[in-house]
Structure 1
């Protein structure tokens, strides 16, 4: 018996690594006839101080995330994925992806890109992908290489 994935959660942040993760997720979703949940977490810590000064920052971040995920949804559908959800939320990507959102969509696979942090940044804050691997209750696929277009 082979494992069949039904709910795939893909972390999208606009980086080239998350684009690679998306491309790989499309193939996996197609082979498994799975639902693709495209997720972007707007990290509230990164703009909390500035937002007090300029409220429109949150609105711009939300609009950017929705447009980015909307483009990816169209690409997935063009490749034959019939069930695609878009989730934009606020908080800490490190904890929300593997705990809250994975539970919300009953994810059986989380796909994310390896982050481009340097050694000092990794030591100080740790990477999102590292945290997902440690805390997820389901399979995790961390993408480190580009996927060739079929």
Structure 2
């Protein structure tokens, strides 16, 4: 039924909640799991709005790479247990993230990719270009004004993708 399953991740708790579902589906259907990170160019290393990057000074472009100047406390972003190294680029952060996910998965073939651009558009493009049969995404469970102001990559993918999208809500702590 499924040959290619896409798991877009930003390293957040919401996307980590979806990983088990993506791996389970890939194992059940002998599918390849595609792990994708998309960095929104004008935001921080995770693609989240600056407000959510407490402890991160504004990044800058140096030689075509986005350089994060300083991170006082990576745990405040909630994005990943492995923050980018001081001075690391968004691409390096994404590469480390998808490799960490790939290393944690066993029993299914895994392909990784890191792209730059508008996350929901790049997720859709990747799904189309790689004959993805199912997209498995986490959701942060934001509601009301937060959801309206921040938008939701998952919601945009659900509304616009040609493939089925399985959404997994982050568990409450």
- TM normalised by structure 2 equals 0.72
Is this contact kept in 2: 1:45–1:92, CA < 8 A?
A: no
Deviation of 1:103 (Å): 0.9
**What is the RMSD of the two structures over their aligned residues, measured on CA atoms?**
2.1
Residues 1-150 of structure 1: matches in 2 within 5 Å? 4-47=1-44, 50-52=59-61, 55-57=65-67, 60-77=89-106, 80-81=107-108, 83-98=109-124, 100-146=125-171
Q: Any stretches of 5+ residues in structure 1 without a counterpart? A: none
1:101-137 deviation line (CA, Å, top 9, x unaligned): 1111111100110125452232134200100100010
Q: Any stretches of 5+ residues in structure 2 without a counterpart? A: 45-57, 69-87
- TM normalised by structure 1 equals 0.82
Aligned residue pair count: 138
Structure 1 residue ranges (4+ consecutive) displaced by more than 6 angstroms after TM superposition: none
SS in 2 for 1:14: coil
